[in-house]
Amino acid sequence: MTENETSVVMLGPRDRLIGELYIEGNLRVSGTLEGQIEATGDVDVTEAATVKATVAGREVNVSGQVNGAVTASKKLIIGRSGSIVGDVRVPRLIMQDGASLSGNVSMGPKVAAEFAQAAAAEAAPAPVEMAAAVQSATDGETAQEKAKAKKR
Amino acid sequence: MDTQQAVADAAPHEANEDGVESRRDGANKITLGPGDSLDGKLNYNGHVTVQGQAQGEFRVTGNFDVGNGATVKALIEGSNVTIKGDVEGVLTARDKLTLGKSAKLSGDVTVKRLQIEDGASFNGHVRMGSFEQSSGS
C-alpha cells in the first residue's frame, strides 16, 4: 500500500499553513500548522513543529507540539519530546517516556475495526482503477473536501 | 573513629529490626501470586505486586505492579504503576505509569509521566503534569 502514495508534503521550520489540508500521501511538518490536516499516508510532526489542528493519518508520529484531536488508522507514536493536547483515537498507541498527553484515549481492536469499516465504505462506492485514481484523485478529493467543509 | 562509625552503622540496622515502618521508600512488599485474590481496601506503606485478582481500593506509597495475567478492578494510587495485565478503574501514578505490551487498561488516569509500549491497549482520559495530591479523600 505504501508504494501507491503519490505525494510527500514537507513544511519546513519557517513555513506556516493555516487552513485545511488533504494529502494523498505523506506529510512532514516542522513549522506551524493551524486548522485541519488529513493524510492518507503517514504524518510526521517534528520537534520544531507547532500544530494547532485536528490531525488524521495512517501512521502519525509526533515529536513536537500538537493541540487538537489526533486519529491514526494504523498507529500513533508520541516521541519523548512530543506533546499532544486533545483526544486520541487509534488502534495502536506507543508513547515514549517523557512524552506528554492530555485528553481522551480510545484504542484497541474496536477502533481498528471502525477504521477498517470506514476504509471499506470509502473504497466501495468508487471502484476506480488505481492508475486512473491517481489522476482523478486530486480533483475528486478536493471536491469531497469542499463538500465536507460545507457540511461543517 | 572506627568505633564511632561502627555505632553509626549499627543504629539503622537496629531500627530496621525494631520497626518495619522505618523505611519510607517501601522496603515492604506485598506480592499476590497468580492464584491469590484480594477484595477490599488497602493502604500500604511499600510496594504491591499483583499477579492474581484484586478488587477494591489500593493506595500505596511505593510502586504498584500488575503482572501479566492479573486482573485488577480498583482505584489504584502509587508512585510508579506498571501494568502488564488487565486493569479497570481510576488510576493515579505520582511518578510514572508504564503500560507494557500485554497491558489492557480502561479508566481515567492522572500521572506525571506516561509510557505506553506497542501492543498495549488503553481507553480513558489522561491527565498529565501539574500534579495534585488526592490522597486526602
Residue B80: is its pLDDT beyond 90?
yes
Residue B2: is its pLDDT beyond 70?
no
Judge whether B94 and B78 are in contact, CB under 8 Å: yes
> Which of A93, A96, A97 is closest, CB to CB, to B122?
A93
The pLDDT value recorded for residue A110 is 74
pTM: 0.74
Residue B89: is its pLDDT beyond 90?
yes
CA dihedral B114, B117, B119, B122 (to 10 degrees): 0
Find the mean pLDDT for residues B69-97.
96
Helix/strand/coil for A6: coil
pLDDT band at A120 (very low <50, low <70, confident <90, very high): confident
- Give the H/E segment covering residue A111: helix A109-123
> Which of A94, A98, A109 is closest, CB to CB, to B118?
A94
Residue B41: is its pLDDT beyond 50?
yes
CA distance A39 to A21: 8
Residue A116: is its pLDDT beyond 60?
yes
Residue, of A147 and A109, whose pLDDT is higher: A109
Helix/strand/coil for A64: coil
pLDDT band at A136 (very low <50, low <70, confident <90, very high): very low
The pLDDT value recorded for residue B130 is 60
The cell numbers describing A146, all together, are 469542499
Beta strands A83-85 and A93-95 are unpaired
pLDDT band at A113 (very low <50, low <70, confident <90, very high): confident
What are the residue ranges of helices labelled H in chain B? 2-18
DSSP assignments along B22-46, one per residue: G-TT---EEEE-TT-EEEEEEEESS
Find the mean pLDDT for residues B32-56.
94
- CB proximity A93 to B under 8 Å: yes
CA distance A62 to A43: 8
CA A89 to each of CA A5, A69, A105, B113: distance values in angstroms, whole numbers, following the listed order = 23, 8, 6, 20
- CB proximity A99 to B under 8 Å: yes
The pLDDT value recorded for residue B18 is 37
DSSP assignments along A66-106, one per residue: EES-EEEEEEEEE-TT-EEES-EEES-EEE-TT-EEEEEEE
A-proximal residues of B, 108-127, CB under 8 Å: 113-127
Mean pLDDT for chain B overall: 82
The cell numbers describing A100, all together, are 506528554
Distance, in angstroms, between A91 CA and closest chain B CA?
8
How does pLDDT run across A11-50, given as a tens digit for each residue? 999 999 999 999 999 999 999 999 999 999 999 999 999 9
- CB proximity B34 to A under 8 Å: no
Residue B45: is its pLDDT beyond 80?
yes
Find the mean pLDDT for residues B48-76.
95
Q: Which chain B residue lies closest to A83 (C-alpha atoms)?
A: B128
Q: How many CB pairs below 8 A link A and B?
A: 48
The interface predicted TM-score (ipTM) is 0.73
